[in-house]
Structure 1
Amino acid sequence: MPPPATPHRLGRRFGLVLFALACQLAACGSTPPPPPLYLQLGGVEGIQAVSNAMLQRMSTDPRTKRTFDGINLRTLSASLAAHLCKVADGPCVYDGETMRNAHADLGLGGSEFETTVQMLRDELDRAGVPQGAKNELLRRLAPSRRDIVTTDR
């Protein structure tokens, strides 16, 4: 026959039950961390596809095409993809110019920058990138505006 239940034993059992329940709830309520941002963007291949599509649009759109005369789009796309991959914590190495140096002589205005950002959003949407990942990439890229925009246009 088990020993009689004393207030001390009941309190101890209750504490053990609460502890077990808390452990189970913690395990059920915890979510694994999201994959790295570059994987959420489709990995290296997905980032390259977005970069290619975006630059194709930019090089033909009347609002942005002026800066693409004489530019090798294949080389620029590879450089842009490496930059985006690096910003997204991917395994890529970006060895291009700083954003300030790369855009210094282009005379880019705020409207061109905003058009470019919208094209990037559109291509990320077309690629099926989740909203949270898209927002995080744009948040990380936003500070570069001050290095890219050099005129009031």
Structure 2
Amino acid sequence: MKNPFVSLVLAAGLLMAGSAFAQTAPQNDQLYKAFGEKAGLVALMDDFMERLLADPRTGPHFKPANQQRVKEQLVDQLCSLSGGPCVYKGADMKSSHANLEIKKSDFHALVEVLQQSMDAKGIPFRRQNEMLALLAPMNRDIITPPETAAKP
């Protein structure tokens, strides 16, 4: 991989721009409230970034990134996805990850770390799954298809 998952989300990701984003967002703010609203999402992303940096699978991708910017974008993405009042203004997932050669294993490691952070913050399992279901479709735009990945 060349650079960190700069604007992921999942998040992460993190999780999604334009009409595709509008189609997946909840119709109410119950998920947003279950995550502790904006303050809860900020605390979650603070924990998430610490874990991403500490994990040997994800740390090398995030250490060179502007970590504060990544956290802010992830908060906005998760806030918006969960029905909160935030607006994600970052680049779309496909263009922002196009040259990063992200593998499925990279994406799965990030999701695992996100789950650890959600557990640590006491987010109920059902609510975690709701958020992950909103984030999962992003894998199509984040993971580099094997046929386009650089050859060793």
Bin the TM-score by the shorter chain. Answer: 0.7 to 0.9
**Residues 37-85 of structure 1, C-alpha deviation per residue, up to 9 Å, x if partnerless?**
1110111111111112112221232211222243111111011111111
User: Normalized against structure 2, the TM-score is what?
Assistant: 0.73
5+ unaligned residues in a row in structure 2: which ranges?
1-27
Which structure: greater helix fraction? Answer: 1
**Residues 73-121 of structure 1, C-alpha deviation per residue, up to 9 Å, x if partnerless?**
1111011111111111111111001111221121110011001111111
Query: Match of 1:134?
Result: 128
Indicate yes or no: 2:56 matched with 1:62: yes
**Residues 15-53 of structure 1, C-alpha deviation per residue, up to 9 Å, x if partnerless?**
xxxxxxxxxxxxxxxxxxx96111101111111111121
5+ unaligned residues in a row in structure 1: which ranges?
1-33
Runs of 4+ aligned structure 1 residues displaced above 3 Å come to none
- Alignment match of 1:146 (pick from 123, 140, 147): 140
- Percent identity, aligned pairs only, is 35
Indicate yes or no: 2:109 matched with 1:115: yes
Indicate yes or no: 2:74 matched with 1:84: no
- Alignment match of 1:93 (pick from 61, 69, 87): 87
- Structure with higher Rg: it is 1
Separation in 2 of the partners of 1:69 and 1:50?
Answer: 18
Aligned pairs, number: 120
Q: Over aligned residue pairs, what C-alpha RMSD do you find? A: 1.8
Deviation at 1:151, TM superposition (A): 4.7
Aligned-partner SS, 1:92: coil
Q: Is the 8 A contact 1:36 1:89 kept in 2?
A: yes
Query: Match of 1:9?
Result: none
Indicate yes or no: 2:46 matched with 1:52: yes
Q: Is the 8 A contact 1:67 1:106 kept in 2?
A: no
Separation in 2 of the partners of 1:46 and 1:128?
Answer: 11
Q: Is the 8 A contact 2:29 2:82 kept in 1?
A: no
User: Normalized against structure 1, the TM-score is what?
Assistant: 0.72
Indicate yes or no: 2:36 matched with 1:42: yes
Given residue 121 of structure 1, which amino acid in structure 2 is its aligned partner? Q
Q: Which has the higher contact order (CA 8 A, sep 6+)?
A: 2
